[in-house]
Amino acid sequence: RKPADATEYLCAGGKLFYVRNLDAGAVWLIAPDRQIRLEKPAGSTGQVYASGKVRLEISAQDVTLLDPPAVFIGCKRADAKS
């Protein structure tokens, strides 16, 4: 079930996760196995968020989530028009 006020992202293999915008440029990552707050790293440009080894990069074309050892590349907004 999609969490309230969150954007759903679909990835290859039917994998999905959700992202909710928070205050101060942070986001809340809601994955199937856990939830974690990601902060915008100092000096970063664009929509990049991280916490430890977890890194989320959002661009106009696609989204990449690095959560070692898992890697999700080419994810798309579920509500995006194809």
Q: What is the pLDDT of residues 26-81, one digit of tens each?
A: 999 998 888 999 999 988 888 999 999 999 999 988 999 999 998 999 999 988 65
Is the overall model pTM greater than 0.95, yes or no? Answer: no
**Which residues make Cβ contacts (< 8 Å) with residue 59, sequence separation at least 6?**
46, 47
Nearest partner of 20 among 37, 1, 45, 32, judged by Cα: 37
Structure tokens at 17: 């996760």
What does the alpha-carbon distance between residue 65 and residue 4 come to, in Å, rounded to a whole number?
21
For residues 47-61, one letter each, b for 16 or more C-beta atoms within 10 angstroms of the residue's C-beta and e for the rest, the string is ebbebeebbbbbeee
